[in-house]
Structure 1
Amino acid sequence: MLWATAGAVTLGFLITLEIAARRYAGVPGPLTTQAREVIFAPKPGPLYGGLALMMVVLTWRQRFIAAGAAIGIDVVFVLVRWAVDAKVDADHFFGNGALWVMLGCAVIAVTRRTGQERVLLLKAVGLGLLLVAGRKTGDTWLLITAKTRPEVLDPYLATADHALGNPSWVAGRILKATGPIGIHTLDLVYAQLAVAAIVVALYQLRNVAAERRFPSHHLVRTFLVIGLLGPAVYMIFPVVGPIFAYGPGTSGTGGVQWAVANLWPNTPPPISIPHPVPYDAITPRNCMPSLHTAWATTIFIHSRKGPRLLRFAGTFWLVATLSATLGFGYHYGVDLVAGVVFALTVEAAMRALDRGWDRSATQLIAYGATVFAALLACYRYLPVEMARNPWAFGPLLLLAMTSVIYGYVRTTKLWEREPKKTAPARQPEPQLELV
């Protein structure tokens, strides 16, 4: 019943977003763009990531068949595109095969499976397609923010960021001094955040095929909910980021005509009374809160129960993501503080859905939501006071974030290792015919 309700709500949301995209941005929404990728050239990363998540319910033999079928279908599509001389970007040549296999497994679940096996396979297909739809939904949300929010509030955050010592300006100069190696490394980490999430998710879901059930709580759920709720805050607090509002933009020249001043990363903006400023209708207003920080935080949390290598990778990805968001000028320091609080609050709520809304969980969620709302209010209405009194507001911001971190760690017992479970007798795995 819960899965059916969640599916209905998700479908309703996607339909609403489809209508909003066509009405406010004049472009197809996530449902249309996803349907197009059955035939037209897609971006392969999300599709093959979704296929990998779907295959957690399959046996190894079935996984090889599914992967081989996906690659074979893609080879056919690539040959046809070459034959007709289709103009396709280099990174959009393949990916259709993964989508075809996921849709094919959905058909098999409905027509060839019954009972719990049908439900399990449909859950797996839904999980894979949700990952893909989440990417499409995010792209649509970003375009809507640019089209519907002509003014941005960057001067407010730039002023409030004085309380933290203007960390984006500092990190930008440090990253520039590291040269091409540091820049390319952080750029790779920042761009491939979803890959890290899939690796952690696959570890958490590694036993689904043997146990014939999904774990009660895993990374993908929180990852998707953060991506669903975060853009709603973008609409309330539209911000483009330091490199756009106070620098040349990512292209090196495109942002100058809209920038408040060309100051990033060499000269922090002076303290003055902030006001909304106009910006173009192309650049997404996707800074407050920093969802890259929120996602990296959840990856770090969910990697804590894994082996040492996974824990190390989760830590590295969090540190590198925080460094990239600041060093590339994509976010202000106050964005990151809000992003951490946002992530922990959502993660606590998702845990509570499965493990019960006891008193400690309810208090943590209420407290996290209150702190997050207070941060937004301070950034909007007290930025000048924050900038003129960094000795008070800087520690208060860090203390507010730390208090939520402490509450989460204490409530969830994050650092306690799970006791090893005695493996149950392995039952024969039912065979799922893919062909």
Structure 2
Amino acid sequence: MSRSGASAGSGSGASAGQTGQSWAASHKVLILGSAAVLALVLGVQAFASYHGYLGPVESLFGDYFLVPRSATMPWVGLALALVGLNNRERVYAVSAAVAIDLVVGVIRWSAGGPITMGTGGTWVLTAVVVYAFWKLSGERRSSVLRGAVLGILLIVAAKVAETWLCLTILVGTDVWDEYVFLADQALGNPSWVMGQVVDALGPVGAAILDWIYVELPVAIIVVALYQCRKGWPSHHLLQTFLLIGLIGPIFYILFPVVGPVFAFGPRGLGFQIGDFWPNIVPNVDFSAPASLPFDDAAPRNCMPSLHTAWAVALFTHSRRGPWWLRTLGTFWLLATLTATLGFGFHYGVDLIAGAVLCLTLDAALHDPERGWGWFRIRLVLGGSAALVGLLLSYRFASVQMAAYPELFGPLLVGVLTAMSVAFFATFYARPGTALARWGGRDADVSGVTDSDATDSAAGLPVR
């Protein structure tokens, strides 16, 4: 054999060996991750059963055989699974899911049940996993399983989150809405203002906003599918979405708040301070705010606003897409903020904390090929410090914030503005500008990909 032939054979063997090692490592991660998720689900189910709540296992059983808790979430999960399939397989999968939903829907309706969907998406998503293990191998199996597992994780995370909200009630018997209400006066009580705006929109406008608020995952999946249209990128929106859902709810336990519509409005079940929201800003003497004992029905899920965090992630990740995707991201962010405040679910300071949380977590994930230089470390540490500082000020400086809104209002907005500018400079500023140099992007110009060059030609910021 010639020397070149031997070299080629050696290179081919090394490549095959590396591929095999990569698949083995991915397979091990999949097994360990699945075991961890299963243990979490069973543990949460045991907790829910002990306290009489609906657990994730019972909820999943309903998705398979009874009435799905969400009509769209199973389809969102299935859409992710479609990323790794070829076009023919996608047609088969979607057709099967639609047919199952139609048949099961007719049976359910004829038995007096609700008209909904989701069963087909759940069944076919499960079938995709079985198909990948049974029929596929190597990189193809890895790609299909990656999408299917992400879809399953989204569904399971939603189930676990429902039970977690019940935990916030058990742990946070007293809520801190008096403190947050005072802190919110530094922003001019935006929830009261937006509550009146939503009232003025009437039932049709409120219904549209409610759908946008509830179906945020639909917009998330649209952006994620666009990002994955040519295969799995090094970073995509779903990673940020899941990390926010993993870290954010921890703060619900540490900072229990129910929101204006409960603590100051008609949904407090007799525990509210008064029926003020949204028409009257209460003139209550909170010179000595205190924890407020509250009911066992309202989740303590206000601080920070995770809907805001997810909507901000949707907005930032849509910036590198075409005009219609950027429009979608902008529209969904503005509509989500309007609904979040206008339905009385959150105070304005919740939204600031949620946005800072999103930018901090996304900074840890964005552009992983750039590594962990000082440009990333300072952003993550700075965002973490800003979030902790915000929460501490809401709790321990709320009286001062209400007394001096002309000082603390700009400070609150300034914290979010500074974090936003730093995030933009680090990940989105055009190379060659002062912001890009500060964000460390000029050092990465050599690593710009072909798709980045296309974005740049279209007038979009490159990676």
Letter in 1 for 2:121: A
* CA pair 16-110 structure 1, distance change in 2 beyond 3 A: same
Percent of matched pairs sharing the same residue = 43
Q: 2:56 corresponds to which residue?
A: 30
1:216 partner SS: coil
Counterpart Cα distance in 1 of 2:277 and 2:47: 34
Q: 1:394 corresponds to which residue?
A: 409
Counterpart Cα distance in 1 of 2:171 and 2:113: 30
> More displaced, 55-64 or 35-44?
35-44
Residue deviations 1:213-246 (CA, integer Å, cap 9, x gap)? x111111111111112111110111111001100
2:152 to 109, 129, 147: 129
Q: 1:231 corresponds to which residue?
A: 249
2:181 to 158, 175, 197: 158
2:272 to 248, 259, 264: 259
1:223 partner SS: helix
Q: 2:125 corresponds to which residue?
A: 102
> More displaced, 136-145 or 299-308?
136-145
Counterpart Cα distance in 2 of 1:166 and 1:39: 45
Q: Is the 8 A contact 2:109 2:115 kept in 1?
A: no
The yes-or-no answer on 1:322 pairing with 2:301 is no
Counterpart Cα distance in 2 of 1:282 and 1:414: 46
Q: 1:149 corresponds to which residue?
A: 172
TM-score by length of 2: 0.83
Q: 1:403 corresponds to which residue?
A: 418
1:143 partner SS: helix
Letter in 1 for 2:199: K
Q: Is the 8 A contact 1:258 1:278 kept in 2?
A: yes
TM-score by length of 1: 0.88
Q: Any gaps of 5 or more consecutive residues in structure 1?
A: 209-213, 250-254, 422-435
Q: 1:418 corresponds to which residue?
A: 452
The yes-or-no answer on 1:281 pairing with 2:296 is yes
Residue correspondences, number: 406
> More displaced, 106-115 or 35-44?
35-44
Q: Equivalences for 1:219-368 in 2 at 5 Å? A: 219-249=237-267, 255-269=268-282, 270-272=284-286, 273-351=288-366, 355-368=370-383
Counterpart Cα distance in 1 of 2:430 and 2:169: 41
Counterpart Cα distance in 2 of 1:357 and 1:267: 49
* CA pair 315-137 structure 1, distance change in 2 beyond 3 A: same
If you compute each CA radius of gyration, which structure gives the higher value, 1 or 2?
A: 2
Letter in 2 for 1:264: W
The yes-or-no answer on 1:179 pairing with 2:202 is yes
The yes-or-no answer on 1:382 pairing with 2:416 is no
1:218 to 226, 233, 236: 236
Residue deviations 1:255-298 (CA, integer Å, cap 9, x gap)? 25111111111222334121111111111111100111101100
2:67 to 31, 41, 56: 41
Relative contact order, higher structure (CA 8 A, sep 6+): 1
Q: 1:426 corresponds to which residue?
A: none
Q: Any gaps of 5 or more consecutive residues in structure 2?
A: 1-24, 432-450, 456-463
- How many angstroms does 1:10 deviate by? 3.5
* CA pair 216-329 structure 1, distance change in 2 beyond 3 A: same
Q: Is the 8 A contact 2:53 2:166 kept in 1?
A: no
2:65 partner SS: coil
Q: Is the 8 A contact 2:83 2:228 kept in 1?
A: yes
Counterpart Cα distance in 2 of 1:12 and 1:367: 34
Counterpart Cα distance in 2 of 1:415 and 1:173: 40
Counterpart Cα distance in 2 of 1:303 and 1:110: 33
Counterpart Cα distance in 1 of 2:317 and 2:272: 38
1:90 partner SS: coil
Q: Is the 8 A contact 1:222 1:350 kept in 2?
A: yes
Q: Is the 8 A contact 2:269 2:295 kept in 1?
A: no
Counterpart Cα distance in 2 of 1:364 and 1:171: 32
- How many angstroms does 1:415 deviate by? 6.4
Counterpart Cα distance in 2 of 1:388 and 1:321: 30
- How many angstroms does 1:31 deviate by? 3.3
Counterpart Cα distance in 2 of 1:9 and 1:49: 23
Counterpart Cα distance in 2 of 1:374 and 1:203: 36
- How many angstroms does 1:176 deviate by? 2.1
* CA pair 368-36 structure 1, distance change in 2 beyond 3 A: same
* CA pair 281-355 structure 1, distance change in 2 beyond 3 A: farther
* CA pair 158-76 structure 1, distance change in 2 beyond 3 A: same
Q: 2:114 corresponds to which residue?
A: 89
2:248 partner SS: helix
